Structure formats: C-alpha cells, structure tokens
Amino acid sequence: MYQDHFSLSASSPAGTAPPAAPAPLRVGLLGLGTVGSGTYAVLQRNAALIAARAGRRIEVRMVAVRNLARARTVLGEEPGTPLLTDDPQALVCSPEVDVVVEVMGGTGLARSLVLQAIAHGKHVVTANKALLAEHGAEIFAAAQARGVVVAYEGAVAVSIPIIKALREGLTANRIEWVAGIINGTSNFILSAMRERGLGFAAALAEAQALGYAEADPVFDVQGTDAAHKLSLLAANAFGTLSQYPQVQVQGITAVDAADVAFAEQLGYRLKLLGIAKRHGTGLELRVHPTLLPESHLLAQVHGSMNAVMVKSDAAGITLYYGAGAGAEQTGSAVIADLVDLARSASLAPAQRVPALGFASGVQPGLPVVGADDVESAFYVRLDLSRPDATVPRVLQQLAADGVQVQRMAPHPHPSDPELRCLVLLTAPLALRTLRPALQAVEAWPTVLGYASVLRVESLA
C-alpha cells in the first residue's frame, strides 16, 4: 500500500535537538456540504504530502454548519476531530483560526461572516463566486486595509488553476480575450440532452444529485453562475473590479432541441460560453448559448467538464481543461489557496500576489459594449409557411438590410408538418444590423412562430 513518506522535521546532526516543526496553518471551515466535505477529505487523505509542499501542516480546527448530526457523520469521532459548531460567528472570531474557508454559499450571511473574519485579521479562502461577483469590491478593499488575503481559485472552473494562470502564468501578456465553458451543470445538461437524449428536467436532476448544481439551480441554467465567474476572469485579465451587473446573460433554458440538431447538420455544436473580450477602449462581457465549429477544442468539452481559452499577445492561445464542479475537484482548488497562504502568510502584504492580479492601476470599471454592438456571425431559424414564395423574399429583405447570408438550409418543422424551418448562417455583423431585418420578415404572415437567433463564434 502507498504510504506518504513526507516529514516536516529536518534531520539534525547526532546529539542536537531537531528544529521545532513550523506552526500549522489553522483553518476554520464555514460549511461542510459538497465542497466543504471534499476539501476536508483531501486535507485528511493527503495531509503529509500537502504539508511537505506547504512547509507546514494545514489543520482544520473548527467547522460551522446548521445540521450538526449530519456533519458528525462526515467528520467522524477520531481524536483530533475539529470542533463542530452551529455558531458561524464564533468561528470567524476564534483565536484558534488563522484562515476562514467560506464554502457555505449565498451572499447575505456569507458576506457578513467574511467581512467579520477580515476584521478579526483572518485570511479568507472562498469558492463563492456569487459573493465575490456581487460584493468583491467591498471585500477586497476590506482585506487590503486589514493586510489579509482573500483567495478564490475554487470559485472559477474549479479544478482548473485559471486564476493562477491569469494572475501569474500570463502576467507578461496583454490579454485580448478569455472565453470558456465555465458552468459545469449547464454543460452537463447540454451533453446529456445531446448524447443520451435526456430531457432538460431529468438532466438537471442528475446534475443536482451529483452535487454540481448551485443551491438554486436557476443560477446555473439561466447563466448567472457563469456571469459571476466571467466577471472574476475579466477582472484578472483586464485589471478591472468585478463588472458582474454589466454582463449580458442568456442561459440555456430556451434552447430548442431542433436548433441543436439543425446546427449539428451544419457542423456546429452548441455550448454555453462566457466571453470577455477587449473591444476598443471597453469590454465585451457576455454569457450565451453559442455555436462553435464541431472541430473546435471547446466543442470537445463534455459533461460537467470546463475549459477556458485565453488569447494573449505574447503567449498566443492557451487552453485550460478540467472538472467544472464537484466535491474533491473544488477541494483541490481550495487547498491550493491554503498552501499559497501557508507559504506567504508571513510576507508583507505588498510582497503577496495581488488579489486581482494587478498591484496598481486596477480600474473600477471599463465601458461595457451593449449586445447590439457586439459583432459575430449568427444562426437564424425562421419557421415559414409557403416556403417557395417566402424564402426568396426573406433573402431579398436580408440583403437589402445589409445582412450577408453565407449558408442556408431548409428543414421540416419538428412538430408542424405544414411548416418549414429555414436555417441561415450569416457573415459576421452587429446585432444592430441584423435586428431590423429580422423584425421586417417576422411581420409577414408567412413567417410564423419563434425565430431562433444564436451567436456563432470561431474563437480562432
């Protein structure tokens, strides 16, 4: 059987006392659900290895939950088991705790506890992207004023060290765009619908049972969770504070299976993407279902996996792939932050890696480009009666309004034998140009029902 052989006590010459082991980093865990229990399990299992890397032990001293009985089944009764409490306030001001790991979720109590922890001089590690997207400015400012760290690798694309990549690995680069699949639940649902023919509700129920979904899964399927994460990626890529309220968000709830099938016949796959991109002196910040060429690397990301692609001036395109949700997968990222802290806690604040990657010059916000001005190719589906007469008129109208059609494919309507679906792929253009053309044709009596409009990206 494999046994850790790591030891923290340096060997000492014969007859001399061994040097004292360095003081452990003492952790208080706020929450012991999916992420909390995954973090605890990995810290226990790999304790010696983690200590060898960190230079000192990382010990969970206290755990706060609501349901003590359930938490006892996770922690067990062994000697050295952390103190369990249902009073999170006691944890955040305990003198037995150096760093508070917030993995309880939410933005109300979590915000207040994190601010209290900071006020008591505790470092904070959190996987709570909603908290940082909404209250990051306040929390990072409080941490800076108190000289403590707020670390959050687990908040974005869990097992992928993307915050470290942007903040440290790509630090030499002017980043052009960051784009990725950053919500595991919605990618799991889209994959299950496509690969196993599962319905939306059944696929979501599976994702929930596997612990991938947020406490309120509306955050996953409506794109909010991806928008939270995108705002953190953009902050690190472009040196802004979180601009979460400005992210254009569209989730997967309105995705029509017929469009997925039609797009596949044209060689495209549908993915929920988050895209943050320089645009003049501002930014595009958007989350929406997107068609990608089927050969694109991001189109190969299935199930709850995530992937983030970064285009930067010196490194070029880099790609990061890994689990997008899950207990130990997130625990891995939380512990990476704890190891960074164990190594750097004694440094002066100015010597630590800055929270958002920029030691100076962080801007409160860059102008965000509205959806109408963002250019891309589009997939458009129109449901028609009398297609022989209507299709030529549609093409004439689009051409007159400056919309260049690159490909066109007619299909039987998925449920109404009287109708035809006309699928069009446009050349890149702004939505501002496409919208009036579509409004004109939708007003005709032979153009019926809902017209799907999806962005198509090449991310080349």
Which is closer to ligand HSE, CB of 46 or CB of 159?
159
How far CA 146 is from CA of 132, 142, 143, 155, in Å, comes to 18, 6, 5, 22
Q: Is 325 in the site for ligand NDP (CB under 6 A)?
A: yes
Question: Closest separation between CB of residue 432 and ligand HSE, Å?
Answer: 32
- Site membership for ligand NDP, residue 175 (CB under 6 A): no
How far CA 285 is from CA of 60, 164, 231, in Å, comes to 38, 21, 8
Q: What is the C-alpha to C-alpha distance for residues 207 and 201, in angstroms, rounded to an integer? A: 10
Residues that bind ligand HSE (CB under 6 A): 158, 183-185, 212-214, 220, 225, 324-325
* 129 given a catalytic annotation: no
Residue nearest to ligand NDP (CB): 33
The residue with its CB nearest to ligand HSE is 185
Q: Quote the tokens at residue 22.
A: 């360095």
Q: Does residue number 35 form part of the binding site for ligand NDP (CB under 6 A)?
A: yes
Terminal-to-terminal C-alpha distance of the chain: 47
Considering only 4, 6, 45, 70, the residue that binds ligand NDP (CB under 6 A) is 70
Residue showing tokens 């689990």: 323
Nearer to ligand HSE, 106 or 267 (CB): 106
Q: Which of residues 38-67 bind ligand NDP (CB under 6 A)?
A: 64-67
Residue (235 or 374) nearer to ligand NDP, CB? 235
Provide, rounded to whole angstroms, the least separation between the CB of residue 71 and ligand NDP.
6
H/E element, 180? strand 175-181
Binding mask 87-126 for ligand NDP (x = CB under 6 A): -x--------------xxx---x-----------------
Q: Kindly state the tokens that stand for 313.
A: 């001036």
By a kind-dependent CB cut-off of 5 to 8 A, residue 66 interacts, out of ligand HSE, ligand NDP, none, with: ligand NDP
Beta-carbon contacts of 339 under 8 Å, excluding residues fewer than 6 positions away, are 50, 53, 54, 58
The structure tokens 């958002």 sit at: 356
* Cα–Cα–Cα angle for 176, 139, 132, rounded to 5 degrees: 50
Shortest Å, Cβ 46 to ligand NDP = 19
Report whether 357 contacts 44 (CB < 8 A): no
Instruction: Output 206 or 220, the one with its CB closest to ligand HSE.
Output: 220
**Whose CA is closest to 331, among 196, 171, 154, 201?**
154
Under rule CB under 6 A, residue 215 binds ligand NDP: yes
**CB nearer to ligand HSE: pick between 220 and 340:** 220
* Residue 331 interacting partner from ligand HSE, ligand NDP, none (CB closer than 5 to 8 Å by kind): none
CA distance 96 to 169: 34
- For residue 39, give both structure tokens: 């973090």
The torsion angle over the Cα atoms of residues 289, 186, 197 and 380, rounded to 10 degrees, is -10
Measured CA to CA, the distance from residue 54 to residue 208 in angstroms comes to: 34
- By a kind-dependent CB cut-off of 5 to 8 A, residue 220 interacts, out of ligand HSE, ligand NDP, none, with ligand HSE
User: For ligand NDP, which is the closer residue by CB, 160 or 298?
Assistant: 160
Q: Which of 122, 164, 229, 311 is catalytic?
A: 229
Q: Which is nearer to ligand HSE, 304 or 312 (CB)?
A: 304
* Tokens encoding 209: 């049972």
Shorter beta-carbon distance to ligand HSE: residue 132 or 377? 132
**How near is the Cβ of 398 to ligand HSE at its closest, in Å?**
37
- Region near ligand NDP per CB under 6 A, out of 31-39, 45-53, 145-153, 265-273: 31-39
Residue 34 touches ligand NDP, criterion: CB under 6 A: yes
Choice from 31, 251, 274, 331 touching ligand NDP (CB under 6 A): 31
DSSP notation for 249-310: E--STT--HHHHHHHHHTTEEEEEEEEEEEETTEEEEEEEEEEEETTSGGGG--TTEEEEEE
Shortest Å distance, C-beta 332 to ligand NDP: 11
How does strand 25-30 pair with strand 58-64? Answer: parallel
Least separation in angstroms between CB 220 and ligand HSE: 5
Q: How far is the CB of 80 from ligand HSE (least distance, A)?
A: 30
Angle formed by the axes of helices 68-75 and 34-45, nearest 10°: 30
Query: Hey, which residues are catalytic here?
Result: 229
Residues that bind ligand NDP (CB under 6 A): 31-36, 64-67, 70, 88, 103-105, 109, 127-128, 154, 158, 211-212, 214-215, 325-326, 330
